[in-house]
Amino acid sequence: MNELDLIFDLHLRNDRQGPGSAAETNRAIDLARLDSKSPLAIADIGCGTGASSVVLATTLHAHVSAVDFSASFIERLRAEVASRGMQDHIEPIVGNMEALPYGDAQFDVIWSEGAIYNMGFAAGLRAWRRFIRPGGIIAVSEITWTTAHRPTAIEEHWTREYPSITTASTNLQRIEEEGYEPIGMFFLPRDCWEAAYYEPISAGIPAFLERHDNSDAARSIVAAEQAEMALYQEYGAWFGYAFYIARKINDA
């Protein structure tokens, strides 16, 4: 198994593959003021195993096109959709967020939790805009500095790992520059990282190592996850996941 497949395997059994929760997905739905009675076409990009797709399809009268490039995540979502009888509401597909198979103005809403960083925040906003109808909504979560200044150690870490990390005010400016009107933003609470994300990963580590015969590759993935968790424990006040909600405005 290559490194990426090992990472998918470590995360496959968890409810979410990034920080988040049903309560916070619903909070973003409320902020966007999505009407739960009118039919909505939604794309959930980088959906993972589809925790947010299920919330969207449950809370709203929606058809959710759920896309991720991990075939194993999509397979698990397909099984869940079938067992919940939600085939008419969630359509999981394997696909690349950089080359989405969708038409112009096809969606009322583009949703993406903890995944736009794979393209970069501004690049994702730019690339996905054409799929949203004018007046439609984009709601994305993105790792974000909580303040203007921070300790050098954490600054160096994230600048190395994700150079375009920035503050909420700069991300709001990027939203404006890419042709959207900001509606709101909020930071996910700490339990979205700890209880909802890191704790299930930690709990799954012994079985993961066993499945992969304690291989060097598996151990190095575990070490990287543990280093990230330690970093969050120490410096979690300085960065977080922010949810950004905005509306597509017409071209100038």
CB nearer to ligand SAH: pick between 22 and 150: 22
Please tell me whether residue 201 adopts helix, strand or coil conformation: helix
Within 8 A by CB and 6+ apart from 138, the residues are 109, 110, 125, 128, 129, 132, 180, 244, 245, 246, 247, 248
Does residue 204 touch ligand SAH according to CB under 6 A?
A: no
Give the residue with the Cβ less far from ligand SAH, 128 or 180.
Answer: 128
Compute the distance between CA of residue 231 and CA of residue 207 in angstroms, rounded to an integer.
Answer: 24
Among 13, 22, 69, 247, binds ligand SAH (CB under 6 A): 69
When asked if residue 17 is in the footprint of ligand SAH (CB under 6 A), the reply is yes
Site for ligand SAH in 128-157 (CB under 6 A): none
Name which of 222, 191, 197, 194 is nearest 208 in CA terms.
Answer: 222
List Cβ neighbours of 235 (8 Å cut-off, separation of 6 or more).
150, 151, 153, 154
Among 92, 114, 124, 136, indicate the residue that binds ligand SAH (CB under 6 A). Answer: 114
Residue of 3, 30, 35, 98 interacting with ligand SAH (CB under 6 A): 98
* Selected binder of ligand SAH within 21, 52, 65, 144 (CB under 6 A): 52
Question: Alpha-carbon distance 189 to 13, whole Å?
Answer: 23
CB closer to ligand SAH out of 4 and 153: 4
What does the CA dihedral 52, 57, 60, 65 come to, rounded to 10 degrees? Answer: 90
Q: Binding-site residue total for ligand SAH (CB under 6 A)? A: 20
- Dihedral of the CA atoms 206, 207, 211, 217 (nearest 10)? -40
- Distance, CA of 130 to chain centre: 20
Work out how close the CB of 98 gets to ligand SAH at its nearest, in angstroms, rounded to a whole number: 5
CB of 11 to ligand SAH, least distance (A): 7
Stretch that binds ligand SAH, among 111-119, 143-151, 170-178, 234-242 (CB under 6 A): 111-119
Using CB under 6 A as the binding rule, whether residue 97 contacts ligand SAH is answered as yes
Give alpha helix (H) positions in 33-133.
51-59, 71-84, 121-128
69 contact partners, CB below 8 Å, separation of at least 6 = 94, 95, 96, 97
59 touching ligand SAH, by CB under 6 A: no
Give yes or no for residue 47 binding ligand SAH (CB under 6 A).
Answer: yes
* CB-based closest residue to ligand SAH: 48
Is there a contact between 110 and 139 (Cβ–Cβ < 8 Å)? yes
Nearer to ligand SAH, 80 or 155 (CB): 80
Measured from the CB atom, is 19 or 136 closer to ligand SAH? 19
Q: Is 124 in the site for ligand SAH (CB under 6 A)?
A: no
Dist. CA 218–CA 159, nearest whole Å: 26
Residues that bind ligand SAH (CB under 6 A): 16-18, 20, 46-48, 51-52, 68-70, 73, 96-98, 113-115, 118
